Amino acid sequence: MSLLDYFRSTKKNTASTAKERLQIIVAHERKRRNGPDYLPQLERDILEVIRKYVDIPADQIAVSLEQRGDQISVLELNVTFPDDKR
Amino acid sequence: MAKIIVVTSGKGGVGKTTSSAAIGTGLALAGHKTVIVDFDIGLRNLDLIMGCERRVVYDFVNVINGEANLKQTLIKDKRTDNLFILPASQTRDKDALTRDGVENVLNELAKEFDFIICDSPAGIESGAMMALYFADEAVVVTNPEVSSVRDSDRILGMLSSKSRRAEQGLEGIKEHLLLTRYNPERVEKGEMLSVEDVKEILAIELIGVIPESQAVLNASNSGQPVILDKDSDAGQAYLDTIKRLLGEQVPFRFLNVEKKGFIKRIFGG
């Protein structure tokens, strides 16, 4: 059995898959946690508006609110348009 | 000045109560007067792990409601000096713990004890929030497994925003990572997140690594905190953890697969 395992080990191990998945989801959730409560709804509303004109999937839009100094907050909006929709 | 330490995790079943029992007992063994408070209202279990389930007369909620005083309610551990347990109530009323009530009890305990260990329930409901609210330090118990790591990260968010220290703009809760049920064999095979992986994701200081061990079930079966099983790997790993919690520098053990000797390789074991 262990000999068989040895030859099979070319497959990517599950621990590194777990780590990658965690890094992505944790970063995502941290960003959300630090933002105001209305941010997810704002993100959905903006997505709806854009979808009136261009059909883009939900994960192609990112809204973030960044605090710069005491006075200024910057709302950053990133929308990736699919190649054929430009 | 008493130090309040919450043992928390978000996810259930990762070893919060086992760790609370071990940490409380370890601190008491080191000569510090310690009380372990069970915050898991409705699902009391610390008493079983500590082996004092038949000595519970009054509970945390009785004290809050003024139906009993602390002296009547605290259970003195029979094996370890300086150690007391405040059992949770078995009431089904989730809101039995009020913030003022908890604060009064903790203030009262702080006059008597050096360490107050708050054994948090799982989840992020009011019981868990209450357990962490007054904490000075937090031990975040995590298994090397995706859902546990993610939930620990959520709890870290709560610790830094929903605690008294955060609300009053004081210095933040000191956070420690306690990795439990660690299996070096599986890590070596690439089947389990390594210590380094979890440290990198959660980005908090590591206080201990407890190996997956037969000793833990044996200990809970007999109602004896595993740290008293000094010959066991888990017991020793908890003893190391206590030393670190008290500020000592101790090298980490049980992180690598034990190389089997010649005899063991032939005869197994």
Residues sharing a CB contact under 8 Å with residue B77, sequence separation 6 or more, in sequence order: B25, B28, B50, B52, B83, B84, B85
Q: What are phi and psi of B141, to 5 degrees?
A: -85, 125
More reliable by pLDDT, A62 or B34: B34
What is the percentage of chain A residues whose pLDDT exceeds 90? 16
Residue B89 pLDDT: 93
pLDDT given for residue B264 in this prediction: 63
pLDDT at residue A35, rounded to an integer: 73
More confident residue, B57 or A47: B57
Q: What is the mean pLDDT of chain B?
A: 95
Determine the distance in angstroms separating the CA of B78 from the nearest CA of chain A, rounded to an integer: 43
Q: What is the dotted CATH code of the domain comprising A18-78? A: 3.30.1070.10
Neighboring chain B residues of A19 at a CB cutoff of 8 Å = 193, 197, 200-201
Is A13 in Cβ contact with B146 (below 8 Å)? no
Write out pLDDT tens, residues B87-120. 999 987 878 899 999 999 999 999 999 999 999 9
Is the CB of B154 less than 8 angstroms away from the CB of A25?
A: no
B interface with A, Cβ–Cβ below 8 Å:
145-146, 149-150, 153-154, 157, 161, 187, 189-194, 197, 200-201
Distance CA A65, CA A69 (A): 13
pLDDT, average across residues B150-165 = 96
Structure confidence at residue B17 (pLDDT): 97
Mutate to test the interface with A, among B192, B201, B202, B260 (most CBs of A within 10 A): B201
pTM: predicted TM-score of the whole model, two decimal places: 0.86
pLDDT (average), residues A32-40: 78
Q: What tens digit of pLDDT does each residue of B44-55 get?
A: 999 999 999 999
